[in-house]
Structures are given as structure tokens and as C-alpha cells.
Structure 1
Amino acid sequence: MTDLDQRRLALADELAVLMRRAGMSGRRLAAAAGWQPSKVSRILTGKQAVSDDDLITWCAATDAPPADAERLRDELRSIRAEAARWSRQAAAGHRALQEDMSALEHRAHRIRSVDLALVPGLVQTADYARALFASLARIRRTPPDTDEAVRARLQRQSVLYDSSKAIELLTTEFALRQPVGDRAIMAAQLDRLRALDGLPAVRLRIIPLDVPLPVPFLHGFCILDDYVLVETLHQDASTTIADDVALYGRIADQLWETAVEGDEARAVLARARWA
């Protein structure tokens, strides 16, 4: 569960407190608000987003003190602003997202990147990143700021040379065999991965195709110290909740143990080169 999810549920809990203090059931509140009872249930369980009008109506129906009503409206505005942040950035293109990620990586002491279907962004070549950003811009229908996004992604990679950091990159043989761009782009990308051996802060591991996974690998994620970021096609999700960070840490640990590095990783890279 992300920080944003937690905040939404906390807001729902506060609405439930207002309802109980007013001595109202969900059905009675729905009748007072002119809603279907199912709407009250969905709001209380976090299954329906609360609009500003919904919040005003709820506070009026439960005779909430003005100070409480204003505080809840401020929290709702903050939640909505956070939820819209990624969408606004993506709507402007991919450069801003790369710059945000760069700031997070430069502050972090330990970076753990786990990718199922892609080469980790920190070690992508310019041509691989360009093909990826161009594809994402088409599917997301966002401004094609591909060159700016590529430059920002390459600037992120300066952290690879910071010996004070611990950087663990985990990807799969599937990702190395799945072309992004043409064969020449993939060949250069594989060469780039082979060249990581000389970077003391970086460890690369690869999960071979024939290795059973110890946990479901539903999506990639990145752990930066005690912060977890998961990016999807329509938004990103982040969390600093200790239990969530620990969960992703356990997943990363188990997947890391199934992967290979050193000579075995170079053998996987060789197989992918000639696949």
C-alpha cells in the first residue's frame, strides 16, 4: 500500500468518526445527503474517491465543526494534488520524470533496481532509451520530448561512478532477449552491461530464463534507502511505510538470490547477444 493509499484510507477513517459522533448509520447519512447507501460504503472503504462536494455534504450532514471540515478539505486537496503530480509531469513529457528520479538517486545511499522486462534505466544506452521513450510517448500520447528525456536519463547515470553508493541492478534474461529498437541497439546495450564490471559501486545480476521465481514478479520497482517507487504506464506509486518497504526488500532479496552475476551473468549476456 502506498503513502497515498494510506492517506486516502486515513481520510475515510476520519469521515467514519464524524458519522459515528453524529450517531448516524451509513443509510441515515446517505438519506441526509441524497445518496445511494452504496456510495457511503464505497467512500468508507476507500473504493470511491471523495470529491470536494462529497466532503462538504458529508461534513454538513454530520454537523462537523468548521475547523474539522476545513482541515479535512485541506487534506483532500493535498491528496488530489499528489495524485495528479505524476500525470501532470507525464503530460509534459518524460524529461521531468527523469529529473525527479535523478534527484532521488543522488540523495540515496543504497539503490536497488528490479526490472522484469527492461534493462534498468541507470545502465541504458542512449539509443535504447531513445527507442523506449519514443514508444512510451506514442502510447501515452504525451509530448515527444525524447531527446530531452534521453539527456536527463544519461545524466542520472553519473551516480554509477559515486563509490560511496551501493547500487544493485537486477534484470532478467527475458529483458535482454526482448528487443527495444533494432538488433544493433540491443547489441550495443548488451556491450554496455558487460562494461559494468569496472564500476566498484555497481552490482548487476541477471535472472536466467529457466530459473523458477520464488515470488510472483508482477512489475518492476526501485528501492532507494527507505523509499519504494513503482512506475506503471498511467502513474507511479511510492511508499515510505516501513512494512511496505520491508515487503519490497524481501522480494528483492529473494529474486536477487535466484540471479547470477560475474562469469555466469556474462554467459547469459553472450546467449542474449546471439539469440
Structure 2
Amino acid sequence: MTSPTERRLALGDQLRLLRDTAGISGKHLAEQLGWPASKISRIERARQAVTDTDLVAMSAALGLGADEAEQLRNELRAIRIEEARWSQHLRVGHRALQEQVGQEQRDAQHIAVFALTMVPGLVQTAEYARHVFLSLAEVHDTPRDTEAAVGARMERQQLLYAEGKTIELLLTTFAFTNPIAPASVMRAQIDRLIALQGLPTLRLGIIPPGVALPAAVAHTFRIADDTVSVELVNTEVSTRDPGDLALYTNYLAKLWDLAAEGDEARALLMRLARDLT
């Protein structure tokens, strides 16, 4: 099986051949695009990740047809999907991924998360997070760096207290009616959610059971400023496409319309805690 690295090298070779066929030097192409002189060389040698925007600009400058340009973009999408597979992300365990997501969220002013089956990582207790990482390591057959991953997740939660951030976390009652951890852990997790409700940075909502959803909810996703990341069983897909961002933002707004917040959310959490007993 060809690795993502090998596919990036092949894509770089293809771009170099297209440039040579067009009779344009790397230096001249960079000047046309207003890029640093070395960027073309770095892209063609897979020393710098080419972006979708880069491919659109290069295709136009090289005079490529619409079909050929779209083939290049499709290959890049396929490479990015392969790179985003959990088998790639988690090959050394969960800690590195927690640190990566933490950096993404530290750089963002607005963070929005819809969690379908679990409590969002930003508000998990350490013990709940421990059960999450153990179960994921079992499912994906990856190294069990559980304590390091829990530590990285707890460190990431400092974002809840960062001035100037807006954090919106929306979850469903599925996390409690079909829990991943024992009842004692879940009750402590509910206490944690109730305690965090008053944070000025945090908007916390819970979709009650039995409400009619605007459409079938298929997966967990998060939005960090202009980037949408969708979590699937085998991979995570990220996009900055304005249409995708608008779609997920609008859908999230419709879900928030159904959510319990404030005192209503607190009452719902307390009922869930009693049910766990």
C-alpha cells in the first residue's frame, strides 16, 4: 500500500512535470504567484505541504484545464484523508494528538464542539478521560499511553480559563444513558459539568432525549474559527471550505435551538445523575 508520504512525493513529481511541460521555470512560476522563490521547489520535493489554494493557483498559472486541475485537487484530498486516519494519528499513542488539538484550539478565538456520544474533551474529568482513551486504544489497537494522554487533555482544559476565548460545547444525553465509564465516574463527570456552567468563556448545552432533530446527526464535529473537523470511526476530516463551514455552522445553530442551557441544563444533569444511581 502506498503511504501518504509516497503519494505526496508523487504529487510533487507530477507538478514538476506539468511545470516542465509548460516551459516555466520554478523561479518564474513563483514570481507569477507572488511566492518566495524556494516555495515551488519545496512543494515539488514534498518538503512543504501543498494546499488546495496552492493547487488552484498553480493550475491557473500553468494553464491547466479544469479536469486536470480537479484531478490534482482530488489527489490532494485523498492524501489528506489518508494522513488523517486514526491509524496514522495514533501510531505512537493518544498524547501527540491531544497536543496537536490543543495547539489548534489555543490559536483559535472561537471553539464550538458538538459531541454525539461522549462528553467533550475540554470538560472531561481525568477518570472519565482515562476510560475514553483506554476504550479508543482497544478499538484502534494503538499504543496505550493513557496517563500521558490524560495529562495532555487536562492541560488542554486550561483553555476554559483563557481570557477572550468563546467556547461552545453541545452534547446529547447519550453520553449518560449509554456511558463509557461506571456510574461513579459518570456522577463525578456530571458534577464537573454543573460546576463549570458559570464560566464566562463557556456556553454549555445538552440536547434532551425525545426531541425531534432537524436532521439525522451522524457524527461528532468541532469548529475552531474557520476550520471544521469531523470525527469518523476511521479518520478525521478537516476543511476550511467556506461552504462546509457555513453548513456546519448553520446546522450547529439549529441543534442549539433544541438544547437545554443554564438552570434547565442543570436540572437535566441532576435527573441523569439520579438515573445513574
C-alpha distance in structure 1 between counterparts of 2:202 and 2:130, whole Å: 23
C-alpha distance in structure 1 between counterparts of 2:273 and 2:265, whole Å: 12
Q: 1:225 to 1:184 in 2, by over 3 A?
A: same
Answering whether residue 66 of structure 2 is matched by residue 67 of structure 1, we say: no
Residue number in structure 2 paired with 1:155: 155
Kindly provide the CA deviation profile for residues 11-70 of structure 1, in whole angstroms up to 9, marking residues without a partner as x: xxxxxxxxxxxxxxxxxxxxxxxxxxxxxxxxxxxxxx9x86xx79xx8xxxx7562599
Q: Is the 8 A contact 2:93 2:142 kept in 1?
A: yes
Between structure 1 and structure 2, the one with the greater Rg is 1
Q: Which amino acid aligns with 2:110?
A: R
Q: Is the 8 A contact 1:134 1:146 kept in 2?
A: yes
Q: Which amino acid aligns with 1:197?
A: Q
Normalization by structure 1: what TM-score? 0.72
Pairing of 1:137-156 with structure 2 (within 5 A): 137-156=137-156
Q: CA deviation at 1:231?
A: 1.8
Q: Is the 8 A contact 1:167 1:202 kept in 2?
A: yes
Runs of 4+ in 1 over 4 A off after TM superposition: 68-81
Kindly provide the CA deviation profile for residues 184-227 of structure 1, in whole angstroms up to 9, marking residues without a partner as x: 10010000000012311001010000111112211010001100
Residue number in structure 1 paired with 2:261: 261
Answering whether residue 88 of structure 2 is matched by residue 88 of structure 1, we say: yes
Normalization by structure 2: what TM-score? 0.72
Residue number in structure 2 paired with 1:42: none
Residue number in structure 2 paired with 1:126: 126
Pairing of 1:14-93 with structure 2 (within 5 A): 67=20, 82=80, 83-84=82-83, 86=85, 87-93=87-93
Pairing of 1:91-130 with structure 2 (within 5 A): 91-130=91-130
C-alpha distance in structure 2 between counterparts of 1:65 and 1:248, whole Å: 36
Q: Is the 8 A contact 2:229 2:238 kept in 1?
A: yes
Q: Which amino acid aligns with 2:235?
A: Q
Give the SS at the match of 1:170: strand
Number of aligned residues: 218
RMSD, aligned α-carbons: 2.6
Pairing of 1:184-195 with structure 2 (within 5 A): 184-195=184-195
Identity %: 44
Give the SS at the match of 2:267: helix
Q: Is the 8 A contact 1:173 1:268 kept in 2?
A: no
C-alpha distance in structure 1 between counterparts of 2:202 and 2:104, whole Å: 17
C-alpha distance in structure 1 between counterparts of 2:105 and 2:113, whole Å: 11
Give the SS at the match of 1:222: strand
Residue number in structure 2 paired with 1:223: 223
C-alpha distance in structure 1 between counterparts of 2:174 and 2:233, whole Å: 20
Unaligned runs of 5+ in 1: 1-48
* Larger deviation, residues 243-252 vs 64-73: 64-73
Q: Which amino acid aligns with 2:20?
A: A
Give the SS at the match of 2:197: helix
Q: Which amino acid aligns with 1:124?
A: Q
Give the SS at the match of 2:222: strand
Q: CA deviation at 1:89?
A: 2.5
Kindly provide the CA deviation profile for residues 139-187 of structure 1, in whole angstroms up to 9, marking residues without a partner as x: 1000001111100111110010013111111001122222221111001
